[in-house]
Amino acid sequence: MTARSSPLEARLRAARAQQDILLMTHIVVGYPSLAESLEIVDAMVEGGVDVMELQFPFSEPMADGPVILAANQKALARGATVKRCFDFAAEVTRKHPIPFLVMSYYNLLFRAGVAEFVERMRGAGLAGAIVPDLPPEEGGEYLAAMDSAGLDPIFIFSPSTSDERLRAIAARARGFVYCVARKGVTGVHTSFSAKIDAYLGRCRRATSLPLALGFGVQDAADVSFLRGKVDIAVVGSATLRLIDERGVAAVRDFVRGLRAG
């Protein structure tokens, strides 16, 4: 693939020039229901989110902890399908000006046909995708389809990744790089400390793309810690817990408060 600066990267850099850190949130499409998912997106955008992951539910989300796993299972049980997820994506991209990404697992792309799935992404107005179980070395068909469609494959760095592999992953990445804060799955508490600083220093040396950090970002204090270290703070399971405990109505103020630290 030819190196290029993508529209997504340009949009993130423009937003970053206006703010000291950006926010990316995550929803599971169809949880608690499709109608409530729309309300959640609206509330998140009103709260000031800069970019959003739309997780297409899958029965075995291997990178996700119990909170997101349960949301995936409930969304599937309540009738979420790939078609309905794409219809949902098209609706929110028309309605809101921020970039939206698909987050899902390779099985969905494989079953639908990779090129067809990517073309449906383009048609729905999506900016890119996070497919955590697809290594770059095995993603030739996916990378070619994404490049042809002008969409960005978002790849993942982890603390256990060697410097050499960080650079190899970065060579295939577009838009930004998602740095996971620790090994394991989503939704587990992360201790933000000097170890994160050292890890993010390695990430920064591996790529000039914007850096996002997720897995354990729960509140304004965590976001404040990440200022000056990454471009994007990613909040996922914390929002789902909030919805479970306090309902959709609590989402907007929660998101607004994330920058208060």
Domain ranges of the chain: 7-257
Q: Are 56 and 102 in contact (CB under 8 A)?
A: yes
pLDDT (tens digit, 9 = 90+) per residue, 227-246?
Answer: 999 999 999 888 999 999 99
Q: Rounded distance, CA 55 to CA 74, Å?
A: 13
Q: How many CB atoms lie within 10 A of CB 208?
A: 11
Q: Rounded distance, CA 239 to CA 28, Å?
A: 11
Class (C level, CATH) for 7-257: alpha beta
pTM above 0.85, yes or no: yes
Lowest mean pLDDT among 140-144, 197-201, 208-212: 197-201
**Of residues 154 and 244, which shows the higher confidence score?**
154
Lowest mean pLDDT among 73-82, 185-194, 221-230: 185-194
Active site amino acids: 53, 64
| Average pLDDT, integer, range 139-149 | 97
> Could you tell me which residues come within 8 angstroms of residue 22 by beta carbon, excluding any fewer than 6 positions away?
12, 15, 16, 50, 51, 231, 232, 233
Does residue 71 sit in helix, strand or coil? helix
Instruction: For residue 5, name the pLDDT band (cuts at 50, 70, 90).
Output: confident
Average pLDDT, the chain: 91
